Chain A
Amino acid sequence: MEFVRYDVNKYSPRQMVTLPLVLLLIAGMVLGYTTLTTGLPLQPGIDFAGGTAVTVFTSDSRETIEATFSAYPLLSVGEGIGNGKYIKFGPMDDAQYQSLSALINEKYPDAKVDQIGETFGKTLQGQAFFAVLLSFIGMSIVVLIAFRNLVPAGAVVLAAFSDIAITAAIMQVIGIPLSLGTTAALLMLIGYSVDSDILLTTRVLKRKGKLEDKLSGAFRTGIIMTTTTLSAVAAMWVVSTAGQIQIISEIASVLLIGLFVDLMNTWMLNAGILKEYVLRSGKK
């Protein structure tokens, strides 16, 4: 594990928190800009915007598929391994959907088809937003109760928030849409994120010993934790992407990005704030 060369004790708190905070700022700008231009912080996928998704295994080329469906609001044709194709359409009216449905049935009778209406997508959007909000508030309360101390608890909450914000901004930049699957993954990130944050905070605040030792001990454990999770998620991503299982592939890619972001936020942002906090309260 060579990327473990990072030494938590080498840098001052100010140096540690700079990069994560700058990235958080940039993420805020990306999401803010998208909200201003589209009304939503992230580009919505079919679940939230309405539309039709088709998964099919066919030897037809992308061009053939595009030609076949040229009369419909075709958004994209994704390709996997072993002839897997993932075709996305924007929302359309009922008559057009019926005709599309008949065409799919004729051309690709073995396709998996999912369709979500535009207004229903809006309802789902509202509900998902509500879920994320509730999750975040719930998490903050649990962390606050667990540490009963504003600065360390605030650092954990900030790190979790930053995880979600930066991950969301990266999704927007590389074009992963916000869907039910990716929303769930963002929520899951809250869980993963606090795992290592709590380990770090507990080790530093509740154990006796030199700060440097406690930090590097926590780092050693934390890295192995995130690496095991990363490896499980990576396996999930590889297999589901190759096998055209869109929902698992989406969840896994967001978790992958999020876990890397979390490494930074835990061991630079959270560790930095915690170090400063311990150094200051030690001087008193």
Chain B
Amino acid sequence: MKSETIINLIKDWRVALLIVLVIGSLVGIYLAPPNPEKGLEGNLQFGLDLEGGSWLQMEFQSVIVSYSTDKPVGDLIENLQKSLEADVTQIDADHLEIRKSVSRADLEPIFAASGAKIVTYHEGVSQYTADDVKRILSKKVNALGMQDAKINLLTPTGSEYPQYVRIELAGVDMATAQEIVGKQGMFEIRVQTTGNQTEHVLFGDQITSVGVPQKDPYYQTWGVGFTLSDSGAQAFREAALKSGAVDNPSGHNLVMLLDNETVYSAPLSGELAAQIRSAPVKSLSATTGTGDAGLEDAMTLEIHLRAGALPVKVDVVGSGSVPAALGEQFKTTVLLAGLLALLTVGFVVYYRYREPSIVIPMLAITLSEIVILLGIARFIQQLDLASIAGLIAVIGTGIDQLVIITDEVLHEGRVPSSNLYMKRYGRAFGIIAVAAATVIIAMLPLALMDLSTLRGFAIITILGTMIGILVTRPAYGKVIMAILSK
């Protein structure tokens, strides 16, 4: 090929776009930021099964029920709480979150007894509770200095309530992972006696339930309500009286500690002090402040009050672990599989066309497609074993489509005038576009499904098909035309 043809070719936007994307992808993988100690892997993100680590998938033991009733909803909630011995919270005008795994059939008589009816029933938790779980888990993980943790809420297709939480910890074995998730802190309330001296009031086991942050309509302050057991309330009253907090609230702060670190400290309110003087009080509220800062503090305090326990019980429904050495071995194996696939494909097309000027561009285009795919995947999708299977499958379809283009334009011998060429290329492109659309449509459900571990496979396949149809096939059409019309 003459250098003039090459220059003209590069000036074509299709070819230029391809080159720009390949360079951009290589920069993304290797130079931004540079990661030389990773060698060939650069900045690519690998999944747990290639990196080594553990995962746990847990199901929330909770249901969301929408109801209809003419009576006060407070009675219904109280009835439910009593008969189920579970936390029940109202999440919006007509939905209740019942934090217990209970069937619809078991719920119906309780609702009927309160003069209410179940309208819809879903397993899962409200978005708020789910986010709460996620926050608590990330806090635990971060406290142990693990940055490589992924915590995802999963919502089954067809439901709007998260039902599972999946946690992935790179470089951690199963036993450690379970310990991290299950571990709870020690929560304690103390009261200030004299000076900086404090005295023990009660431990976290006396707290029977913890509410969600709520705003006081009068003072505009945020706070978190919590309930004490009978003995807890009794202990609280005795300590408040003995320390002098009832007589002089401002001189005797109540201090909350989690694992011996102060997480909250404030005096009793005058109102509460007066109540406590006459009788033990079970329902308390800790006020944090106004505005967004107050809300944020209230959310943190809520977690602290639970001492790292999750607001809703979870059951492990799936788990797994891969030792790092095995992950490393898998990496080598899949690299080998990819190379071998490319090689055999090259061999087959050579057998068919016997023409290096066709086969070399075909393989070069396929290779550039893989590079661009990896370059984009680096930002949006970690590569696990399944997504690498997708990658290899894309090599297969990619070459298929290049064969369609080649055969279409070569129809009845050599390439004709550029007009006719474009007509034939258009026809080939039509076939490819329909085929690509069906692949994308067929993979879409899998890509959108939260639950499936095959999301990566579907996403890579769709992405690869799109890069093919938008970038690499058009460029190939131009390149092959320039080569064949010399």
Q: Are A142 and B434 in contact (CB under 8 A)?
A: yes
Q: Enumerate chain A residues within 8 angstroms of B386, measured Cβ to Cβ.
A: 181, 184, 247-248, 251
B437 at the interface (CB under 8 A from A): yes
CA A235 to CA B317, docked complex, whole Å: 35
Are A135 and B442 within 8 A (Cβ)? Answer: yes
Known: A135-B442, A227-B348, A248-B337. A127 touches B449 (CB 8 A): yes
Within 8 A of B (CB), among A230-250: 231-236, 238-240, 242-243, 245, 247-248
Q: Is the CB of B345 within 8 A of A138?
A: no
Determine how close the nearest CB of chain A comes to the CB of B346; give it in whole angstroms: 9
Q: Shortest distance in angstroms between A127's beta carbon and chain B's nearest beta carbon?
A: 5
Best-surrounded residue of A101, A117, A221 (most CB of chain B within 10 A) = A221
Q: Across the interface, which residues of B come within 8 angstroms of A113, CB to CB?
A: 174, 319-321
Choose among A127, A142, A206, A226 the residue that contacts B452 (Cβ–Cβ < 8 A).
A127
Task: Assign chain A's interface to a size class.
Answer: 35 or more
Residue interface bits A93-135, CB-to-B below 8 A is 1, else 0 = 0100000010001000111111111011001100110111011
Per-residue B-contact encoding for A255-272, CB less than 8 Å = 1, 0 else: 100000000000000000
Any B CB within 8 A of the CB of A77:
no
Report yes or no: A194 in contact with B395, Cβ–Cβ below 8 A. no
B337 (CB) vs chain A CBs: closest residue: A239
Q: When the two chains form their complex, are residues B320 and A112 in contact, meaning their CB atoms are under 8 A apart?
A: yes
Residues of A within 8 A of B438 (CB): 138-139, 142-143, 190-191, 194, 198
| B400-A111 in contact (CB<8A) | no
Bound CA–CA A217/B322 (angstroms) = 49
A234 to B392, CA, bound (A): 11
**Is B337 a contact partner of A184 (Cβ separation < 8 A)?**
no
B340-357: CB near A (< 8 Å → 1, else 0) gives 111111011101100000
User: Which single residue of chain B is at the shortest CB-CB distance from A213?
Assistant: B412
A232: B residues at CB distance < 8 A: 341-342, 344-345, 392-393, 395-396, 399
A195 at the interface (CB under 8 A from B): yes
Q: Is A231 within 8 A of B336, CB to CB? A: no
With known contacts A123-B156, A128-B452, A235–B330 Cβ distance under 8 A: no
Distance in angstroms between the alpha carbons of A236 and B334 in the assembled complex: 8
Question: Do A225 and B317 touch across chains, with their CB atoms under 8 A apart?
Answer: no
A188 surroundings in chain B (CB, below 8 A): 393, 442-443, 461
Contact of A117 among B316, B329, B336, B400 (CB under 8 A): B316
Instruction: State in angstroms the CA–CA spacing of A236 and B449 once bound together.
Output: 26
Which residues from A are CB-within-8-Å of B458?
184
Distance, CA A251 to CA B407, complexed state (A) = 29
Instruction: Give B399-434 as 1s and 0s: 1 = Cβ < 8 Å from A's Cβ atoms.
Output: 111011001100100000000000000010011001
Interface string of A125-162 (1 = CB under 8 A from B): 00110111011101101110010000000000000000
B457 at the interface (CB under 8 A from A): yes
CB pair B441–A142 under 8 Å, yes or no, is: yes
Chain B residues 373-410 with CB under 8 Å of chain A are 385-386, 388-389, 392-393, 395-397, 399-401, 403-404, 407-408
Q: Which A75-104 residues have C-beta < 8 A from chain B?
A: 94, 101
A245 contact from B157, B333, B345, B445, Cβ within 8 A? B333
**With contacts A191-B397, A228-B349, A248-B385 known, is A235 near B403, CB below 8 A?**
no
Q: Which residues of B contact A138 (CB under 8 A)?
A: 438, 441-442, 444-445
Inside 8 A of B336's CB, which chain A residues have their CB? Answer: 239, 243
**How far apart are the CA atoms of A228 and B322 in the complex, in Å?**
33
- Interfacial chain A residues near B49, Cβ < 8 Å: 112
- Other contacts beyond A94-B316, A132-B445: 10, CB < 8 A: A57-B326, A127-B157, A136-B442, A181-B389, A188-B442, A191-B438, A192-B396, A228-B396, A240-B334, A242-B333
Which residues of B are in contact with A by a Cβ distance under 8 Å? 49, 57, 59, 156-158, 164, 174-175, 315-323, 325-326, 329-330, 333-334, 336-337, 340-345, 347-349, 351-352, 385-386, 388-389, 392-393, 395-397, 399-401, 403-404, 407-408, 411, 427, 430-431, 434-435, 437-439, 441-446, 449, 451-454, 457-458, 461
11 contacting pairs across A/B (C-beta < 8 A):
A105-B175, A135-B444, A138-B444, A142-B437, A195-B400, A228-B396, A239-B334, A240-B337, A242-B333, A243-B329, A248-B334
